[in-house]
Every structure is written in structure tokens, then in C-alpha cells.
Amino acid sequence: MTDEPKPVSEDLRRVATAHGVATSYNNERRVPVDVDADVVVKVLSLLDVDASSETAIHAELARLEEVDRAGVLAPTVAVRLTGEPQAFPGAAELVDEDGARIEVHDETLPADLTPGWYQLTTRGGQQVTLVAAPPKVPRAQPTWGWMLQLYGLRSERSWGIGDLGDLREFVEWTAREHQAGAVLLNPLHAPGPTHPVQPSPYTPSSRRFANPLALRISDVDAYRRADPDTRAEVDALRVSASTPRIDHDLVWAAKRDALELLWRAEGRPDPLEDATSSDGLRDWATYCALAERHGGRWSRWPEPLRDVTGPAVDAARRELASRVAFHAWVQQQCAQQLSAVRTAASDAGMSLGVLHDLAVGVDADGADAWALADVLAPGVSIGAPPDNFTPRGQDWGLPPWRPDRLAATGYAALRDMLRAVLAHADGLRIDHVAGLWRLWWIPPGDGPDRGTYVYYDADVMLAVLALEAHRAGAIVVGEDLGTVEPEVTEALADNEMLGCAVSWFTRDNDADGEPLLAPQDWPSRAAASISTHDLPTAAGFLRGEHVRARADLGLLDDVPGEQRHADAERAEWLALLQAQGLLPAGDAEPDEASIIVALHRFLASTPSQLKLISPYDVIGEPRQPNLPGTIDEYPNWRLPLPVTLEQLRADPRVAEIAAAFREG
């Protein structure tokens, strides 16, 4: 911030603390930063707390003291089940998810309480939601595998984009031939149904539903049942798999037309007529139908249609029943193919299986923001505060959960989202896992330097995660790169969640000069990799591509300084690889292919429980999938692998590197 922040009074600080709004925080250098009082007041107002005057602040303090004296519980509470009776002051009765009543004796929860969701009644008659969770998530067994940007994994059968058929074939091949134990996917969340299609998997329209661009059309049951003329009409829509970039709009136009042909050939089935269909599926399909008519940004729809519970939406749903049915049917096809991939991984002998990635938020104008508006903060965007790397801060354009509304609704929205992703997953990676503790809120109309942290009830958030992961039998990886608070690291360990370790960041932060860690010093409780989708690939790092690309786009103020830093890091890595006996020592410069193999052998020798490799690294692709700080200046999320799936399977570099992990 350029101006000195307006100081926060002690009374305002007490109100803010009670509602989880930070009045100060530690920056990336662990230096305390005060938040401007006006920002605190504005963020409190977004939580329906009036702190605009001394009178209002005192009234809120009086209300909080009254609540405290009354001993009122939070609307949702959590316990971890240890197999021992647990005292719960005031508890009188529990009702489980099936409606069975469980009496509570002496205000003590029974020792044999099973993990689940309960309604708890107190002696005073208060009704609260109780999340009874196991103490830890399922434990990850040591293995290795791949991390994939699925859209880039194209085969000779693809329609311009990597699909779930390609994924199934990849899983079966790498498990059987190389004994890979896991595949971590980029988020397969659903983009909106209108053009332009959002290419970023981290800005989805919905995290509860799947991306239909990933469907393999020829694997849809309706295609197999179709008559020859219909199949020929569908086949004629196929997009070439050899385009230099992924064209999401072209692919969706072709697949949408193909799916509509097949849906009509099946007699226009409506999955919503099934009594087991969910309200969430109905809302998603309704959003899609409305977006086709009124545009993809629901905040610009006619005002009556912005309320998902209103009569205008019910009327529109009936009017657009055919389109609603179509989009529900498309999601049914996605679910079937996702399930087939998971089954294929199990049948092929993968020790872990398929891990899905959970994005940190959703598009503010997308389906989830419309359907879940009651538990999201409208107009608010999450991001990151100013730091040395981004002096103005970051605005991610994603609306946050409202912690008070989550609690009041029993965390149902969080539960349903996790269930939807875990339905087809053996593991879950949570992007920006620190968001379970706090998120940087940027009020409407302000920049990221005029925000503050809002805290969540991490105990309940983690309990919901542990419970749903337990039910799915899924491991959990928390993306904890960068600056995270100590309690995040401790809680990941306590819950047996894996953190993340990336080669470019693995340094001894307690040593002078922060030297690179030797492989034996890498963390064991981690999903380890050479790079990520936001960082240089192995070849890109060795060639300095990350400097050149940003320099060409004018994103660097000191290009020579950045290049010197990149050269020094490269030299440091070569020295470490030579010291470990992975590269020959001497004056001769090793070739790039040898260095890439050595980097992978280095990763294979670490004690990290889950080791992940990327085809971008293995085959020496210099371009990274996403270049942070750009939108259209760089082809983010549009770069296919330069080889087909068939070529990848036959590439000797894959066999050599896979052998290093199999032997390790």
C-alpha cells in the first residue's frame, strides 16, 4: 500500500476477530502488515456486520457478549472420532443421516459413534449440525505416477483435444507396462456451455460437474447403438487431432452437435425424471439452458432469473425442458466415462489410481456462483496480498465461500462439492489448500491491495474433508507451495494429508544461502515433482525459456538480472546432480537429454511418498502449460503435447525414466 493504513481501534479489532476478519497479517517475509480500518469495516459489511460507526461497533460487541453468556454453539461443529467416549457439554440427542435417534447420556458422545453427519440437540433445545469425522484421511502408500494436462494428451482417435478415452488407454498402458501407481489430472470441472469456452481448468463454471469436452464421443453408449447413418453424421463432425493449439470452442461446437445427434437418436432421454437425480444436476442443467438463451454471464440475465429459487426460474425450466434434459444427459455420459477410467486403473493394477484436482474457486458468472449464491460472497474476489513478486497483489476473480453461511447451512455446499469430485477419484489434490484456513478477500470495486484475510473454521472444514475422503477411500494432497502459515503444515501432517514438493523450490531454508536439498532430505509426506503447470518444464528451465517468454511479453523489469539468476540456478542444479553421481563430473557440458534423465533419477531417489512425472518433462517440451501473469498473451491451457499418445507410448525416453521409478 502506498498510503499509511488508517488504524483499527481496539473495539473494531474485537468485532473483526469475532467474525474472522484479519486486522493485520504477516507478509511473505513474516513482517506484520496492518490492514486499513476502512477495509476492515467494508469486509465486515460483506458479512452483514455493521461496524460503520462507534455506535454500531458497540451494539455488535453487546450482541456478541450476550451470545457468549447464553452459551450458544456454532450452527455446525465437528468432532474427531477416536473410539473413546467424548464429553460434549450440553448434548442431549443425536439424529443420524437415516433419521435414527441416538440418545446421549451424561452429555457424552458414544464411543461407538460412526463417522457421519448428525443433527445434535442440546439441553437448551438448540439444533446444530455435527460432523463426526475420523481423525485422519486415508493413508497414501508409496508409489509413483504421472500428472497430466488431459486436454494435451491427444491420440489418433481424439477430436482435437485429449479425452477420457485417451486417459483410459494411458492408464491401462502405464500401469501394465511400467507399473505406475497413480495418475493426477488437471481439474476436469465443467466450463460454461456458451462461447467463448473458458480454457483454464482453474476458472470453472462448476466444480460439481465434469467437462464434456473430455468425452470420447465414440465411447458413448448411444454411439454404439446408433444406426450407421447417424454414426456417419457424427463421425463427420470430428475435429483434427493435429491442430498446433487446442481450440476449445471448435471442439465444443463439434462435440455438442455430435452429442445432440446421439441424444435425439436415443429418444431425448431425461435423467432428471429419475427419482435419484440430484437438485444439483437440475440446477446445473437449468443454468446451461438459460445460458444458451440469455448468455453465459448470469449477472446480466433478467433479474427474476438470477434467483435460482424463484418462480421465474421454475417457469423457465419448464419452458426449456428439452435443453435442460439434454445437458443433464451429457453429464450422465461424463459420469459413465469417468467411472470407466477409474475401473480401468483398478483392473490394470494401479496401487493408488486416479487423483483429481480441485480448483480453489469458480467463475463469478458461472453455474455454481448462480446456484450457490446463498453461501458465496457476491461481488467479492479472492486473490493474494501485495508482495515482492506482485507488488499490486493478485486478483483471481473467484468469489469466496461465506464462512457464516457455510456454518448456518451445515456445510452442505462444501460436502456436496467434495462428494461430486470424489465420486470418481481415488485421491484428491486441493489447489491452494491454505484456503481451508483463510482467503484474501477483495471487496467489490477495490484492488487486491485493498483487501484482507477472512478466516474459516478450519476444524470443521478439515473434518468435512476427512469424512468425505474416508467415505470415498481417497487420499488427499494439499498444494502448500509458497508462503503458508505453520498451522497449515502441522494440520496436513496431523490429518495424514500429503503436502507438495517441487524441485525448483526444495531448498534448506534454515541454512545460509538456502542451498538445494539433497534427495534424501526431501520431505517424505509429500507429492513430489520436478515442476507444475505454472512453472518451467525441465527443458524450459534448462534453456531459460521461462525468462525468454516473459521477456518477450514485457513482463520483466530486469531481463539481464533474471537471466543471471536463471543461469545460477541451472549451474546449481548441475553441480548437485554431479555431486549425487547422476551426471559425470568434468568440464564437458552434459546434453539436455542426459540432464533431464538425471533430474528424474534424482526425483526417484527421494523418500517422498508420491512421486509424479509429467510427459512435458519426459519428452523435453520447453513450453509450460500456463504462464502466470498472462491471459491471452500466452497460449495458456492450449498447448498440446508435441507427440501423440501412440508416439508417447513408443518413446524410449518414457521407458528409461519409468524404469528409474519402477526400480526405485
Q: What is the pTM of this model?
A: 0.96
Q: What are phi and psi of 597, to 5 degrees?
A: -60, -40
Look at residue 233 and tell me whether its pLDDT is greater than 80.
Answer: yes
- Residue 480's CB is within 10 A of a number of other CB atoms, namely 21
CA distance 352 to 612: 12
Which amino acid, residue 607? P
Same domain, 205 and 315: yes
Look at residue 510 and tell me whether its pLDDT is greater than 90.
Answer: no
Q: Under a CB-based contact definition with an 8 Å cutoff, are residues 186 and 149 in contact?
A: yes
Q: Under a CB-based contact definition with an 8 Å cutoff, are residues 333 and 271 in contact?
A: no
CA distance 7 to 29: 22
Same domain, 17 and 125: no
Flag whether 554 is in a domain. Answer: no
- Please tell me the least confidently modeled range out of 349-363, 380-394, 554-568: 380-394
Same domain, 19 and 127: no
Q: Which residues are bridge partners to 613 per DSSP?
A: 146
Cβ neighbourhood burial of 3 (10 Å; 0-12, 13-18, 19+): exposed
CA distance 139 to 607: 16
Render pLDDT for 479-500 as a digit per residue (tens, 0 to 9): 998 878 899 999 999 999 999 9
pLDDT confidence of residue 369: 98
Cell of 62: 453487546
Flag whether 528 is in a domain. Answer: no
Q: 120: part of which helix (H) or strand (E)?
A: strand 116-122
CA distance 561 to 272: 59
- Please tell me the least confidently modeled range out of 129-138, 508-517, 602-611: 508-517
Of the CA atoms within 13 Å of residue 294, those in its CB half-sphere come to: 21
Look at residue 23 and tell me whether its pLDDT is greater than 60.
Answer: yes
Flag whether 330 is in a domain. Answer: yes
Q: Under a CB-based contact definition with an 8 Å cutoff, are residues 377 and 20 in contact?
A: no
Flag whether 499 is in a domain. Answer: no
Q: Is 91 helix (H, G, I), strand (E, B) or coil?
A: strand
Cell of 232: 456417419
CA distance 34 to 24: 4
Same domain, 330 and 244: yes
What angle in degrees, to the nearest 10, is found between the helix axes of 279-294 and 311-319? 80
Which region, left, alpha or beta, applies to residue 205 given φ > 0 means left and ψ of -120 to 50 means alpha?
alpha
Residue 578 carries which DSSP code? H
Flag whether 534 is in a domain. Answer: no
CA distance 192 to 89: 47
CA distance 557 to 81: 54
**Chain position carrying cell 429418444:** 267
Q: Under a CB-based contact definition with an 8 Å cutoff, are residues 384 and 312 in contact?
A: no
Pick the last residue of a domain from 51, 70, 89: 70
Residue 462 carries which DSSP code? H
Report cis status (omega within 30 of 0) of the bond before 271. no
Angle CA 507–512–514, to nearest 5: 15
Same domain, 219 and 320: yes
Q: Is 167 helix (H, G, I), strand (E, B) or coil?
A: helix
Q: Under a CB-based contact definition with an 8 Å cutoff, are residues 43 and 443 in contact?
A: yes
Pick the last residue of a domain from 70, 88, 120: 70
Same domain, 27 and 120: no
CA distance 470 to 381: 31
> Checking DSSP bridges between strand 116-122 and strand 127-133, what pairing results, if any?
antiparallel
Q: Is 3 helix (H, G, I), strand (E, B) or coil?
A: coil
Look at residue 609 and tell me whether its pLDDT is greater than 90.
Answer: yes
CA distance 49 to 41: 8
Angle CA 405–407–409, to nearest 5: 70
Same domain, 320 and 278: yes
CA distance 611 to 595: 18
Flag whether 318 is in a domain. Answer: yes
Look at residue 461 and tell me whether its pLDDT is greater than 90.
Answer: yes
Pick the last residue of a domain from 46, 70, 94: 70
Render pLDDT for 571-595 as a digit per residue (tens, 0 to 9): 999 999 999 999 998 778 899 999 9
Same domain, 14 and 87: no
Same domain, 108 and 235: no
Query: Where in 431-472 does DSSP place strands (E)?
Result: 438-442, 452-455
Nearest C-alpha neighbor of 129 from the set 67, 68, 73, 83: 73
Average pLDDT over residues 517-534: 96
Rounded to the nearest integer, the mean pLDDT of the chain is 96
pLDDT confidence of residue 399: 98
Same domain, 265 and 281: yes
Flag whether 530 is in a domain. Answer: no
1 band by pLDDT with thresholds 50, 70 and 90? very low
Same domain, 197 and 300: yes
Cell of 246: 487446442
CA distance 321 to 326: 9
Flag whether 402 is in a domain. Answer: no
Beta-carbon contacts of residue 656 (< 8 Å; ≥ 6 apart): 597
pLDDT confidence of residue 318: 97
437 band by pLDDT with thresholds 50, 70 and 90? very high
Same domain, 229 and 267: yes
Nearest C-alpha neighbor of 167 from the set 340, 409, 375: 340
pLDDT confidence of residue 2: 52
Beta-carbon contacts of residue 462 (< 8 Å; ≥ 6 apart): 78, 133, 436, 491, 495
Beta-carbon contacts of residue 42 (< 8 Å; ≥ 6 apart): 443, 446
Which residue range(s) make up the domain with 90?
A: 76-133
pLDDT confidence of residue 18: 97
What is the count of structural domains for the chain? 3
Strands ordered across the beta sheet of 526-529 = 475-478, 427-430, 353-358, 182-185, 143-148, 610-613, 526-529, 499-502
Look at residue 639 and tell me whether its pLDDT is greater than 90.
Answer: yes
